[in-house]
Amino acid sequence: MEKKPVYKGLGGRRFAQKPEDWTHLNGDILVPKDHPRIRFRGQMDLLEARVVRVQAELAERHAPEALVGDLESVVELCRQIIRGEVLDAALPTGDIIGLSPQELRRQSHDPQGVFGVEYMKPPSHTLGFVYAALNELRAQARVAETAAVAAFSGRPTEVQRDILRTMNRLSSAFHILMCRVLSGYYDR
């Protein structure tokens, strides 16, 4: 006789089959689809999708390959964050858009000194499509970051603390990309 799988929900609930409004948190552990960690994963999926869409638009507009490449490093980081969260696996250490965490912080806090542009120049249609698209990605990164904070409140694991640090750096990376665009960095 064939044995049916048993799914375990948080809190000790057991299911003979997976309810449609529940999903896998880890392995055979199920949670409702509005669980904070599932919401965070959804925000990361959305961020990755938007970065890829912007890359495609930039490539069609013949934007500098270096900018498209910097965005590819962000796509890879998004994938690493999602993988790390699902598997509770350490994130690879490394640069974001070619910058160490220390350099990200320095450049994002001193755009006037580094790029000759004002700090967080308010977005405007007059600054062009690229600046507007990067600002949208920065804002989406902030939404994903707040979802991470909600998902990992309480007693986060070391991996979750690392994800929170990385999410903070990610929005800084978008700010730096915006500053680079304004300064003509990619036109050189």
CB 166 within 8 A of CB 81: yes
pLDDT in tens, 6-30: 788 877 788 888 889 988 888 778 8
> 18 with 60, same domain?
no
Count of structural domains, the chain = 2
pLDDT in tens, 142-171: 999 999 999 999 899 999 999 999 999 999
- pLDDT for the residue numbered 181: 96
> 162 with 125, same domain?
yes
Q: Where in the sequence is the domain holding 164, given as residue range(s)?
A: 34-187
- Sequential pLDDT tens for the chain (188 residues): 666 667 888 777 888 888 899 888 887 788 999 999 999 999 999 999 999 999 999 999 999 999 999 999 999 999 999 999 999 999 988 899 999 999 999 999 999 999 999 877 788 899 999 999 999 999 999 999 999 999 999 899 999 999 999 999 999 999 999 999 999 999 97
Q: How many CB atoms lie within 10 A of CB 32?
A: 13
- pLDDT for the residue numbered 15: 83
CB 8 within 8 A of CB 119: no
CB 178 within 8 A of CB 135: yes
CB 85 within 8 A of CB 150: no
Reference 58, options 172, 167, 181, 140; nearest CA is 181
> 5 with 64, same domain?
no
Side-chain half-sphere exposure of 10, counting CA atoms within 13 A:
10
- pLDDT for the residue numbered 108: 93
> 168 with 126, same domain?
yes
CA-CA-CA-CA torsion sign (85, 159, 35, 21) = positive
> 151 with 78, same domain?
yes
> 27 with 74, same domain?
no
Backbone angles phi, psi at 94, to 5 degrees: 165, -175
The CATH number of residue 130's host domain is 1.20.1200.10
> 24 with 80, same domain?
no
Distance CA 103, CA 94 (A): 12
Distance CA 124, CA 86 (A): 37
CB 75 within 8 A of CB 52: yes
